[in-house]
Amino acid sequence: MERPMVSKCPICDSKMDVTKLHCKTCGTSLEGRFTPCKFCQLTKEQLEFTEVFLASRGNIKEVERFLGISYPTVRSRLDTVIAALGYRVEYEEDTHRKDILKALNEGEISAEEAIRLLKK
């Protein structure tokens, strides 16, 4: 049974390094320090969102419909994925704050998630 690669330490939440690669076909193994791809470092939820976003060809209305969430929530999740991939997220502070509060008010995100997003 194959399992997805773990990208964060279950003990201290630090990034994990890949130190061994193995070929199932011929049995060859490589040892060293390998950097996992950026997408491998996304959380399961971020990866699922990214897959829906890509399958929708970036159409936010389609993402809203498919996931049953509002525009502010889609935008917030997209910003989170962009930041997790190591890119700078630029947005107008007041609009971002209003989007978060609206999503919280409509019950689309938890209070904890709203606090985390507002602290960014």
N-terminal to C-terminal alpha carbon distance within the chain = 38
Q: How far, in Å, CA of 41 to CA of 73, rounded?
A: 21
Q: How far, in Å, CA of 117 to CA of 109, rounded?
A: 10
- Grade residue 61 by pLDDT with cuts at 50, 70 and 90: very high
Q: Count the neighbouring beta carbons within 10 Å of the beta carbon of residue 93.
A: 7
- Backbone φ and ψ for 82, nearest 5 degrees, come out as -60, -45
pLDDT tens-digit series, residues 81-97: 999 898 888 766 667 78
pLDDT tens-digit series, residues 3-40: 777 777 888 988 888 888 899 999 999 999 887 788 88
| Structure token digits, residue 118 | 């507002």
Residues 6+ apart with CB under 8 A from 59: none
